[in-house]
Structure 1
Amino acid sequence: MAAGVKLMQKVSSTMLFARIAPHFIPAMDKAVHKLTRGKAMLSARMLPGVILTAKGAKTGEPRTTPLACMPEEGGVSWLLIGSNFGRPGHPAWTANLLKNPEAEVSWKGEDIAVRARLLEGEERARAWRAVLRFWPPYATYQARIEREIRLFRLERR
């Protein structure tokens, strides 16, 4: 594993990162995504990412959120991890997908209609093991909170 990736994993596991990152990473990702016409996200230097557009659970209005993701084989599905950087409370986008699973992602410059599904049981357990192999700091996030981190599979529709 490259030294830079190892360092980013260590940094992203800290409480300081959990306090600061939610305030600047999404804003920077949105700006870079817009400037590159959907072809790049700054945080993708650490992890692959999508821009999720889903209807708000309360308002029904479109909500756009840059998110790290784990692309699955074949390029037809992605795992989204509701870690909220290891902070208490589920991120708002997870409630949006629970209420309105029909959504859209921007992935490498392509807008793709998707359907989200909350993973549960053995399917979630298998996906969680894959997520931890992909980005081990998620284990640190889970260890410092009481809630179970929500995992969603997004599939092309």
Structure 2
Amino acid sequence: MSEAKLAPNMPKWMVDHVDKYLSSGGKEGHMYTLTPPNSAPITVPSLLLITTGRKSGQKFLFPLFYGKTGDSYYIVASKGGAPEHPGWYRNLLANPEVEIQVGTAKMRARARTAKGEERARLWTDAAVFWPPYIDYQKKAGDREIPVVVLDPVH
């Protein structure tokens, strides 16, 4: 994978998670356990996404929860229900060529925003592995939270 910087303003728990993921070559950190507010602990699969900054042209790394659909992976641009899309999503709209690490596997991928039935299906699946997405959508109001499919480039 390219040399990438951690995204700016990343919370400490995310930095620690990325450090564990990278230092173990993906053997640790792929399955991540955390406790959302007012919930029992949840173990969620996570990947590392590298995007190219839409303004800076620099490579940025983001840890994200994911699901799998066929040979592809999908991620949710929730930003915790904020009114605007996360920076990584805006980056991949400008340049959909990304790199990902899923466990120990590293690959190039092309990102696309799921639409229609595909989005509805993947959103439902995502809410199973990370139930807080439901509350994030309520909090986001009129902003439909994007679901992004990462298709490996062979």
TM class, shorter-chain normalised?
Answer: 0.7 to 0.9
For the Cα contact (< 8 Å) 1:28–1:42, is it kept in 2? no
Which has more strand, going by share of residues?
A: 2
1:136 aligned to 125, 131, 136, which one?
A: 131
Deviation at 1:43, TM superposition (A): 6.3
Deviation at 1:59, TM superposition (A): 1.5
Give the RMSD, CA atoms, in angstroms: 1.7
Deviation at 1:99, TM superposition (A): 0.9
TM-score when normalising by structure 2: 0.79
Which has more helix, going by share of residues?
A: 1
The total of aligned residue pairs comes to 134
2:101 aligned to 71, 86, 106, which one?
A: 106
Deviation at 1:136, TM superposition (A): 2.2
Matches for 1:1-157 after TM superposition, within 5 Å: 23-41=11-29, 44-45=32-33, 46-73=43-70, 76-146=71-141, 147-157=143-153
* Letter matched to residue 46 of structure 2: G
2:73 match: secondary structure:
strand
Once the two structures are aligned, what percentage of the paired residues are identical? 33
Task: Flag structure 1 segments of 5+ consecutive residues without an equivalent.
Answer: 1-21
1:47 match: secondary structure:
strand
Task: Flag structure 2 segments of 5+ consecutive residues without an equivalent.
Answer: 1-9, 34-42
Q: CA–CA distance in 2 between the matches of 1:25 and 1:145?
A: 23
**Stretches (4+) displaced over 6 A:** none
